[in-house]
Amino acid sequence: MSKVLLCIMLVVFSFLISCNSPSPYRQDTLVGAIRWDAWVGDLNPAGLEVERALGPNQYHYRAPFYSKEISHDSIQCRGATQDIMDKEIAYASAAGLDYWAFCWYPPHSGLDTARQLYLASKHRDDIKWCVILGTNPFDYGTDAVWLVDRFKEKNYQKVLNGRPLVYVFPSAMTKPQELAKLRNLSKAANIEEPYIVVMEFSVTAAVAMADSLQADAMSAYISWTGKDGEPYYPVIPHADSLGWEGYKATGRKVVPWVTTGHNTKPRIDNPVSWTTVSSDGWVSDGTPGQIADNLSNALRWTMMNKSTVEANTVLMYAWNEFDEGGWICPTLGNNTSRLDAIKEILK
C-alpha cells in the first residue's frame, strides 16, 4: 500500500470518527437549564395565570407536552405528577443536559411541586440539580439547613472539586449576612464552600451585586432584549455574546448564559400579576438550529476562556419558560425539535 493511499485512508477514517463524536467545544463543560415551575394549575394562583396566558390557540404549540387542550382557546398545563417528572428527567438526560437550576419556592407553596417530585424520583440521579435563590423568600434557618443537607447528596451539582453550585437571582431577598449563614452551615457540615453565581441583567448591576454578596462569579437569567418581533438570530445570540464579553471585561469570573428565546407575546396579550412586559418587548421564535448554534457558541467561548469560566459550566434559559419565551422541554404533540437540536451539540 502506497504512503499516499494510506494517508487518504487515515484522513477519511478520522472524518468518519469525527462525524460521530460530540461537539469539540463541549469537552467536559457542564450544561444546565433553568426550571421555572409554575405549571401546577390550581395548586398556586400563578398556575392558573400561565394557563390563561397560553390559552389562545395560537400559543398551544409552545405549551408543555403534558398539556391538555380544553377548547380552541383554553388549555391546561399541569406537570404535577411523578410520571410527568420522570418523563422530563428522561428527556433531559437523553439530550445530554447535566443539571437543572430550580428557581426556589418555599415548601407547600405549590410552586415547589416539581422540585419535590424530582427529589422523590427513582431517576433523580440521571440529571443533577442546583438552586436559584432570590426568586422567592428563603428561610436561612430551616430552608438553609435543608439545602445544606442536599449539598451532601451526589445528585446536587458541584463544581471545582466539590463546591455546591448556587445561583442568586437579583432581588432584595438575598442579603450578604444571609449568604454568610449558608457558607457557615456548609463549613460546619464539612462541605466545601458553595460556589455563588449572581444573575443580573447588566455589567454594572452584576458587579455591584457580586461585590455586595461576595460572589464567586457573575451570570444572567436571560438577555432581555429585542423589540417588535425582531428575529431571534442575530438579535439574541449577539446579545448573549456581548454579555459574556462585557462581564469578562470586569475581570470577574463568568458563567455564560444561553437565551433560547424571548417571545413574550402570551404575556403581552394576557398579562400575569407578578411582572409587566411592554407591548413591543418581544422577539420572534428562533429555529431549533439557531438555538443549538447559540449553545455551541457558548461552549466555544467557554473553551476559549477557561480561566474566566473557572466553574466550566453554561446555563440555558430555560427548560420550561413556555409563556415567557424560553424553553427546550418538549411541547404539545411531543414536539422535541428544540431538544433534538441541542442533543446534536451535547451528545
Non-local (6+) Cβ contacts of 107 within 8 A are 116, 143
The pLDDT, as a whole number, for residue 5 is 39
Q: How do beta strands 320-321 and 326-327 pair?
A: antiparallel
Q: What angle do CA 72, 285, 265 make, to 5 degrees?
A: 55
pLDDT in tens, 262-294: 999 999 999 999 999 999 999 999 999 999 999
Which one, of 231, 225, 228, 224, lies nearest residue 280 by Cα? Answer: 228
Walk me through the domains of the chain, giving residue ranges and CATH numbers.
23-346 (3.20.20.80)
For the residues of 297-336, what is the DSSP string, one character each?
A: HHHHHHHHTTTTSTT-EEEEE-SEETTTTEE-S-BTTTB-
132 forms beta bridges with 103, 167
* Interval 161-183: pLDDT, tens: 999 999 999 998 999 999 999 99
What counts of helices (H) and strands (E) characterise the chain?
11, 13
Q: How far is CA 62 from CA 29, 53, 249, 283, 338, in A?
A: 29, 11, 36, 15, 11
The kind and range of the H/E element at 218 are: strand 217-219
Please give the pLDDT value at position 53.
Answer: 98
- Residues 151 and 264: their CA atoms lie apart, in Å, by 35
pLDDT of residue 3: 44
Q: How far apart, in whole angstroms, are the C-alpha atoms of residue 303 and residue 312?
A: 8
User: What is the rounded radius of gyration, in angstroms, for the C-alpha atoms of the chain?
Assistant: 21
pTM: 0.93
- Dist. CA 269–CA 263, nearest whole Å: 12
**CA gap 314, 25 in Å, rounded:** 12
Residue type, 284: S
Which residues in the chain land under pLDDT 70?
1-24
